[in-house]
Structure 1
């Protein structure tokens, strides 16, 4: 192995509104000489296998400024996101050739990582080589769609912040998305009445007939206030928030006293760059007199906690036993990541959107 293709996607410009794959992204055809590339201390090279397409990446497509939690994408450079990769060259004491790694990679075929050795096995890069034995039981792609942060997000937020109790009612917006479809299934396992909304009749069918939600509806075809009155006659105990804006305003009117609202995202507001155009929720005072707990979070908040340990045990057991269905929308080829990303933002996909960059052959 020496000089090979290293096709990738460059971030060209900060979007004003919804990103356009032909305007804000550019496919570039680079080469990488793996054999002769000199590695610095702790450096390693990854052959990228799967890339996760996540809504949070839209929030990083902004003018450059210091943000330790969600740093900006650098214009003129390869975009970055969470992925699963195979180590093909290493000068890092914690990684050897053939190891599988989960962490922040480039939207490209190969990524040269320059890092601190101490960052291996934390949120930056996690050696998941011990999970190779799982390849006989679950697909490798599940590492980014179910078994790592993408699964910890719904599990941790629902269990730690939603505090579900059997018999309660949960309403989930974007219920057929990467996080929502898992939240609903976990809630069903915990004995809740599960109501979800989504943006197409096809997705409603998926929620009702495959995931066995108690109720689901196409929000584009109904009056949300009236529909929630019909489907949640006893009110809402947990609202899993993915949308924000007008939807949050309506839902607050249906929340019971002591309701919990884990705020995973507000995707309706992500592509509004003018702050004056963002929707101003008018009934936030109801949070006070209803004693509602509204809690924003990042999946990293649960790293190292008992919730993460419980997640690793529960999720693997549920997926092996068939209690959890992991719906993946797999796009082939890194060159298609830009369009797939914008499709995901506007809801033109079901489940978790991931890009398959390369095949993985090392099953030993």
Structure 2
């Protein structure tokens, strides 16, 4: 018998999640049935969406998230021992998976268990990063929704995060001028020196509108928003006619009281007057 440990959310989060909002539950897993695999977690994601969907679940619930796991026992011919899988089984060390079973429809829209692609020597942790959900979000959110053209200017909020950092790199590969906003000077240096952003700013210490006038004197064509709030309003007000916005998240408000959400400058004047998409 294998004993599995799982983080269970026992309280709805109030502000920043706390250790006391969770408990660790241990259980014995049953023997495998035909078509099942037993997997041991190697990398588990901790993403902002975990906080955002907290109140969509009924307490108590197992803390969901993506994980990369190694198959350590198998009764499925397509998933041999030693292969690796990606699932949305969350913060647990062992899990029994049934890869052929259609996933239950839920508010998160999570897909089925799948094999981690051959990483060709790259870290397998990228299965919950660049070649996982954050990578797909960045790729399709930027290229399909914003349809950026070479030479255009792209702004990314939450630019040092799991999704934002990939959006900026994809933008540079597509020949865009990329401007990022992040929450610390260390992140700003990383964006400019390591990822090649043309400009990056600490939104906590600059006037966002003035920074955009400096970095994007000819306006913004594409905006990938992970943050929301007043930063979002300032960027949208600086966009060019027929600009495109990809709305990915609202990190600025995830820890706020849902009955007293913060207010930001309205967007309609900029959206309507500049025909933004």
Tell me the TM-score normalized by structure 1: 0.69
Looking at structure 2, the residues matched to 116 and 190 of structure 1 have their Cα atoms a distance apart, in angstroms, of: 37
1:260 aligns with 2:244: yes
- 1:58 counterpart (51, 59, 69): 51
Residue 169 of structure 1 corresponds to which residue in structure 2?
A: 153
Looking at structure 2, the residues matched to 75 and 40 of structure 1 have their Cα atoms a distance apart, in angstroms, of: 29
Task: Report how many aligned residue pairs link the two structures.
Answer: 271
Residue 142 of structure 1 corresponds to which residue in structure 2?
A: 126
CA contact (8 A) 2:99 2:113 kept: no
| Unmatched segments (≥5 aa) in structure 2 | 104-109
CA contact (8 A) 1:174 1:243 kept: yes
Looking at structure 2, the residues matched to 142 and 213 of structure 1 have their Cα atoms a distance apart, in angstroms, of: 21
Listed one character per residue, the Cα deviations across residues 201-225 of structure 1 (whole Å, up to 9, x for unaligned) are 1111111111121111111111111
| Unmatched segments (≥5 aa) in structure 1 | 64-71, 294-364
Matched ranges for 1:145-224 at <5 A: 145-224=129-208
State the 1:118 CA deviation: 4.9
Matched ranges for 1:277-356 at <5 A: 277-293=261-277
The verdict on how the C-alpha distance between 1:170 and 1:27 changes in structure 2, with shifts beyond 3 A counting, is: same
State the 1:76 CA deviation: 3.3
Tell me the TM-score normalized by structure 2: 0.89
Residue 22 of structure 2 corresponds to which residue in structure 1?
A: 25
CA contact (8 A) 2:99 2:114 kept: no
Looking at structure 1, the residues matched to 184 and 14 of structure 2 have their Cα atoms a distance apart, in angstroms, of: 26
State the 1:233 CA deviation: 0.5
- 2:222 counterpart (213, 232, 238): 238
State the 1:31 CA deviation: 5.4
Greater relative contact order: 1 or 2 (C-alpha under 8 angstroms, separation 6 or more)? 1
Which has a greater percent of helix?
1
Looking at structure 2, the residues matched to 148 and 191 of structure 1 have their Cα atoms a distance apart, in angstroms, of: 24
CA contact (8 A) 1:92 1:117 kept: no
Residue 341 of structure 1 corresponds to which residue in structure 2?
A: none
The verdict on how the C-alpha distance between 1:115 and 1:141 changes in structure 2, with shifts beyond 3 A counting, is: closer
RMSD (CA atoms): 2.2
Looking at structure 2, the residues matched to 59 and 160 of structure 1 have their Cα atoms a distance apart, in angstroms, of: 24
Looking at structure 1, the residues matched to 95 and 214 of structure 2 have their Cα atoms a distance apart, in angstroms, of: 51
